Chain A
Amino acid sequence: MLKQLTRSALEHLLQQTAADYRLQVPQRLADGTRQLAPYGSGELSLFGETPQRKPTSAFFPQTEPLLKIDSTGAVQLPAAAEKPLALFGLDAHDLHGIAFIDRFFSAAPADDVYLRQRTNALLIGLTGAAGPDQSFLPLSAGNCDIELIASNDHWLAVAYSETGEQLLEPFPDGDNDRLRALREETSSYRAIRPDSLQKASELLLHDRVPDDFWEAIAARCILCSGCNLACPTCTCFCLQDRQRADGTERSRVWDSCQLDAFMREASGHNPLGSEALRTRRRIHHKLAADPQRWGELGCVACGRCDRACPTGIGIFAVAEEIVKRYEKG
């Protein structure tokens, strides 16, 4: 289904969505950053830089209550949310990131805590002339309910699910030729992922990256863990208990493989006992382990870790360095 929305029609679609969903939309915050925030809490930002907070945090938040255990050992689950989530403003990278962790958390045994947030949630992509200064953002792979494609003074709206079709039903049909042209523009656009990621992946899979490389990269790491916290496909967590008046609240909290305690066992044995091993793990996991396990890179090339890293060792930078040093050698 292809429809066309004016600015007021888009507002109408969002209002309608907000009636049935906890809708988050991109907004320009007072500090100048662009982030997803509850609809109606600020001014809608329809183009601009990618929000630095990862969109997957809506479904896998930094701290998430799992259950409560009372004094008898009985377990109680948190109350279900009244409405499912809806995220508007996701680009192709972010939709890819959500699809990646959908598969991860759905793999048997399915993570019911993730599914409770994610099931029936609505994803609305925002591509086309929606980048900084209305620059072109490549179209999505259709891994959303609705994709809004900014074009001149209107938005083409493609429905990819039954729910998406219902929501777009009232709007006038869009121009198929225009959609075709935008899709062609996407295919001629630079690859969604830089070549260096794929090349670095192959070098890692063929064990062509020596240990002293990781020593040198790790020497630049300040252990802030910003790379992991910003990455939409990072899913590692640890458990945390808090004693409350009515029992123990058990939560999960994001963890970082860059930290010494990540794999340390009670015996003191630590399979990732050096910064070099942990830095290798961060990059190797995305570029070599994930392709082996899931058949694709674990990096969706959103650029967040490279923006977050104060010392320039985000995954693009490291992949480029790997390719530069070892591609021919």
Chain B
Amino acid sequence: MSLTPTIGRRTALAGAAALAGTRIARAQTPAEVKLAMLVPLSGPWARSGLLEQMGARMAVDDINNAGGIKALGGAKVKLLEFDAGESAEKAKDAAQRMVAQEPDLSGGFGCWLSTFTLAATEVTERAELPWLTLSYSDLITNRGFKYVFQCSPTADAQAKELVPIIMDLAQSAGGKRPTKVAIVGDNSASSVSFYKAIHEIVVPEQKLTLVTDEVFTPPLADATTIVQKLRSGKPDFVLMQSTNAGDDRMLVDKFYEFGLTAQKMAMIGGGGHWCQPELTKLTTKEHLEGVIVGLANWPGKAMQDVNKRFIERTKEPWFGHDSLFGYTHVMTYVAAIEHAKSADRHKVMESLHTMDVTDGPARFFPDGRIKFDEKGRRVGAKLCIVQWRDGVPVPVFPTNVATHAAVWPKA
């Protein structure tokens, strides 16, 4: 009896030593590098999450087929997928589970919707796990966090940037600078901060007159009154800040019914959902024709090859905003790990902070550069503008990604 514990302890010690040994060896040349993806795979935002997942999976296959991560002796990338669900609480729970069950992650990305990202990053920051996100809310990088990196221009920056671009597009395509603007949109978080910037900064700076200002609570039940007000206000363009494809559809359908097409009044939608493939199924391409969309990224000329392979692989009609971000996040991590020559999360964080590249994954952004500032925001992040043409969104701005020229209604 008395011997058993001694032997037990000795065996345990030997085992621990062996484990420690493998751990050190592993840290030097990991067989695989684990990246986590936490996006909504169920609930109302599942479609966006699934599109991001498709992009991320393709990036992982691209890296592994090309020989893995070279600085780590060809270590393969392994993508661990987690469902953020349909609420901030679920997203936060999933993040907790992720950091608890996968202690050797090198980094992660998600959660598409700003609300979810805000919740999940409270966990990842405490676990000191690097986190890339496409979410727009400026709150995400306003908390003094060190491990969170926001790749999109923030919501308030987008508001300030979008209208001047639109004004320039209008002038070069239509010959006349717009003077009257309308706002139609819901009262969700990102929309509200967007309106604030429009009201306080953009309208006075651009010498615009706000003729219609219609805010609704999603989901939109009926757009008839909105159309009536637009018809009487006669704006040169309308900014549409809905946040889901159902409301987008309701707006364009009702506009079309009352003869308000994008050929008569320019329509500017905001956000990735305005370019999701479902929209063509929910409504018709005639209703969408000419609608302009401002969003954080879109595959441009440089990505024709990825674009083609993505469509072949997924049977989706195009490679868009959400999938592109999934793809880019994985590629950004790989670049950071190659640079750090380590998959250790702290080194990956430092590598992301010091990174300043204009090649590799930087090519996937319209402004062509990846450098994060102290807050973790991507320096010089630019908006992309796409326009619906014959049932497909095509990039029209900035010029380095544009495949088409913007069309503006003739006055």
Q: Do A and B come from one complex?
A: no
